[in-house]
């Protein structure tokens, strides 16, 4: 049973909206594009591992918490890609979607990746990351007076990651090996050590502690392409409004609902509150009267009257 589903992060959505509206000639475009590419690759890798669970027989009951994000008592965060809780053990997974030759120098605790171009790049040790999460989880179990074995592992979501011999014996493997390792853990931990009620209570406690981590992104709002963008054009072509439809002069597309979809761009890039003026500026609408009529049709909550009126975007 999935108690916490995996979703695109707010940072992921913000960067997608930013790339839609930032000119490709902008000095920071490549940096934002690369950040989005890495996040997209990571999310795709997590989805690949999620799909593997569909063919794995698991004991009942069991609970999944995907992308669990918790602030601990020291003010630092734990962002755990997958937590599996079952009556025999708890499993913590760190999922990586990276390519290249992966190497580990245990004496220096140094994890490196050699790219196809031959560049050696240092990276955060995912084994240490998952072990840190495991130690925190054991502390949580101790607080709850539960004794459940905790396993941890790093799962590689792509076959294009090559493990060096230095990683032999470490809890890291390709996604294709997940089902075999789960069998081994079930063989190792045959005994049911916690009943269904206590297992669900502990899983619910973890879920109650989940708080999505907000990562600030400096947005060049002043440089964004304004207007309602055509979804059929790849170059951010703006559409014109002639009641009651939006028209694209570039490709000829006609769209009644364009403003509803692009309202999310405003929420992500500017904020949840707007005024007639900010609405006109962001969507390049010349007439305040036209803007007012459009605002009445959108999923907004109005506050105040006349010149002081503000609108709150309803999710």
> 3-state DSSP call for residue 27?
coil
- Whether the Cβ atoms of residue 66 and residue 39 lie closer than 8 Å to each other: no
Q: Which residue range forms the structural domain that includes residue 295?
A: 225-313
**Residue 53: inside a domain, yes or no?**
yes
Q: Does pTM surpass 0.85?
A: yes
> What would the pLDDT profile of 55-83 be if each residue is shown by its tens digit?
999 999 999 999 999 998 888 999 999 99
**Residue 65: inside a domain, yes or no?**
yes
Q: How many whole angstroms separate alpha carbon 120 and alpha carbon 101?
A: 9
Q: Rounded to a whole number, what is the distance in angstroms from the first to the last CA of the chain?
A: 26
**Residue 219: inside a domain, yes or no?**
no
Q: How many whole angstroms separate alpha carbon 120 and alpha carbon 140?
A: 38
Tell whether 183 and 236 lie within a shared domain: no
Query: In this structure, what are the phi and psi dihedrals at residue 225, rounded to the nearest 5 degrees?
Result: -70, 125
Q: How many whole angstroms separate alpha carbon 58 and alpha carbon 79?
A: 24
Strand intervals (E) in the chain: 2-4, 63-71, 77-85, 90-96, 100-105, 110-114, 120-123, 150-156, 161-163, 172-174, 240-242, 245-247, 254-255, 273-274, 300-303, 310-313
Tell whether 199 and 57 lie within a shared domain: yes
> 3-state DSSP call for residue 145?
coil
Tell whether 97 and 124 lie within a shared domain: yes
Tell whether 103 and 19 lie within a shared domain: yes
Quick one: pLDDT at residue 202?
Answer: 97
**Residue 214: inside a domain, yes or no?**
no
- Whether the Cβ atoms of residue 134 and residue 173 lie closer than 8 Å to each other: no
Q: Which of 181, 208, 235 is the last residue of a domain?
A: 208
Quick one: pLDDT at residue 37?
Answer: 95
Quick one: pLDDT at residue 145?
Answer: 95
Q: Which of 208, 243, 276 is the last residue of a domain?
A: 208
Quick one: pLDDT at residue 65?
Answer: 98
Tell whether 92 and 185 lie within a shared domain: yes
**Residue 305: inside a domain, yes or no?**
yes
Quick one: pLDDT at residue 198?
Answer: 96
Tell whether 176 and 233 lie within a shared domain: no
**Residue 117: inside a domain, yes or no?**
yes
Tell whether 166 and 71 lie within a shared domain: yes
Tell whether 62 and 173 lie within a shared domain: yes
Q: Which residues of 195-234 are buried (b: 16+ CB within 10 A; e: fewer)?
A: eeeebbebbeebeeeeeeeeeeeebeeeebeebbbbbeee
Quick one: pLDDT at residue 237?
Answer: 87
Tell whether 185 and 80 lie within a shared domain: yes
Tell whether 62 and 90 lie within a shared domain: yes
**Residue 217: inside a domain, yes or no?**
no
Tell whether 261 and 122 lie within a shared domain: no
Quick one: pLDDT at residue 201?
Answer: 97
Q: Which of 142, 176, 208 is the last residue of a domain?
A: 208
> 3-state DSSP call for residue 251?
coil
**Residue 274: inside a domain, yes or no?**
yes
Structure tokens at 209: 């502690």
What parts of the chain have a pLDDT lower than 70?
none
Quick one: pLDDT at residue 273?
Answer: 95
Tell whether 15 and 131 lie within a shared domain: yes
Alpha carbon distances (Å) from 74 to 28, 71, 116: 34, 8, 39
Quick one: pLDDT at residue 168?
Answer: 93
Alpha carbon distances (Å) from 82 to 1, 49, 122: 13, 9, 24
* Tally of structural domains, the chain: 2
Q: How many whole angstroms separate alpha carbon 158 and alpha carbon 161?
A: 6
């Amino acid at each position: 049973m999935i108690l916490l589903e995996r979703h695109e992060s707010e940072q992921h959505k913000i960067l997608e909206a930013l790339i839609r509206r930032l000119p490709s000639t902008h000095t920071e475009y490549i940096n934002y594009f690369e950040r989005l590419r890495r996040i997209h690759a990571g999310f795709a890798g997590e989805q690949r591992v999620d799909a593997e669970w569909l063919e794995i027989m698991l004991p009942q009951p069991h609970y999944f918490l995907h992308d669990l994000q918790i602030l601990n008592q020291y003010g630092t965060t734990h962002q755990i890609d997958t937590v599996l809780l079952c009556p025999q053990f708890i499993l913590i997974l760190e999922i990586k979607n990276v390519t290249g030759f992966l190497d580990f120098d245990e004496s220096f605790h140094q994890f490196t990746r050699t790219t196809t171009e031959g560049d050696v790049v240092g990276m955060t040790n995912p084994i240490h990351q998952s072990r840190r999460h495991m130690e925190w989880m054991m502390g949580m179990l101790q607080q709850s007076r539960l004794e459940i074995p905790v396993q941890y592992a790093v799962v590689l979501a792509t076959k294009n990651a090559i493990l060096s011999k230095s990683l032999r014996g470490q809890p890291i493997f390709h996604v294709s090996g997940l089902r075999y390792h789960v069998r081994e853990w079930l063989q190792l931990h045959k005994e049911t050590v916690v009943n269904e009620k206590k297992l669900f209570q502990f899983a619910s406690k973890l879920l109650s502690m989940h708080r999505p981590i907000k990562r600030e992104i400096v947005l060049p709002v002043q440089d964004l392409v304004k207007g309602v963008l055509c979804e059929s054009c790849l170059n951010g072509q703006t559409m014109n409004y002639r009641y009651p439809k939006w028209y694209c002069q570039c490709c000829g597309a006609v769209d009644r609902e364009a403003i509803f979809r692009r309202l999310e761009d405003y929420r992500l890039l500017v904020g949840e509150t707007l005024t007639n003026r900010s609405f006109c500026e962001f969507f390049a609408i010349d007439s305040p009267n036209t803007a007012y009529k459009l605002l009445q049709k959108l999923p907004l909550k109005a506050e105040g009257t006349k010149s002081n009126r503000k609108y709150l975007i309803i999710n």
